[in-house]
Amino acid sequence: MDHSDDKLTHFNEQGRARMVDVTDKAVTARVAVAEGSVTMAAETLRRIRDRSIAKGDVLAVAQIAGIQAAKKTADWIPMCHPLPLTGVNIQFSDNGEDTLTISAEVKTTGKTGVEMEALTAVSAAALTVYDMCKALQKDMVIGPIKLLIKTGGKSGDYALAAE
């Protein structure tokens, strides 16, 4: 069976890690949406919504953290290309009980996708929620964090199957 198209592109001829060469790839509009959750006590979620956490407005700070993280993804993830992002949108929702959901939509026009930027944005926002609320509750649970949608590029579009 021919697996020539299944080559792991992050390895060079010597089997060592490399950043993928995207020189010859087409510039296309690219979008990625990721989502994650932070599960916590109902009281913690209520205090986040009421903006009564001692460190300040948790969602405002987490939103900025997510945007900053998306912009700095190449500094965190060794093989990621630094990308000029054209948009980052972080949104929050909750189930009214014990789970805060964080979503990040990241856009660029370029030669490589923004999946890692969206996943990093959600991760940083969730970690910021934890950091700002840990004095109140240390047993919060982060995750799962997952890619929901990816559009653009040679590999085509992706959408996570409904659960």
pLDDT per position in the chain (163 positions), as tens? Answer: 333 445 556 777 777 777 777 888 888 899 999 999 999 999 999 999 999 999 999 999 999 999 999 999 999 999 999 999 999 999 999 999 999 999 999 999 989 999 999 999 999 999 999 999 999 999 999 999 999 999 998 888 999 987 6
- pLDDT for res 71: 98
100 backbone dihedrals φ, ψ, rounded to 5°: -100, 130
Note the Cα 41 to chain centre separation in Å.
Answer: 24
- pLDDT for res 7: 57
Contact 102, 37 (CB under 8 A): yes
pLDDT tens track for 146-159: 999 999 988 889 99
- pLDDT for res 5: 46
Task: Pick left, alpha or beta for residue 15 (phi over 0 → left; psi -120 to 50 → alpha; otherwise beta).
Answer: left
- pLDDT for res 3: 38
CA dihedral 102, 106, 55, 132 (to 10 degrees): 50
Q: Which domains does the chain have, with CATH numbers?
A: 26-159 (3.30.70.640)
What's the rounded Cα separation, in Å, for the pair 107 and 150?
A: 10
How many angstroms separate the first and last alpha carbons of the chain? 33
- pLDDT for res 19: 75
Whose tokens are 């697996």? That residue is 3
Mind telling me the catalytic residues? 131
Closest CA to 154 of 11, 3, 24, 41: 24
- pLDDT for res 8: 54
Contact 44, 137 (CB under 8 A): yes
pLDDT tens track for 100-109: 999 999 999 9
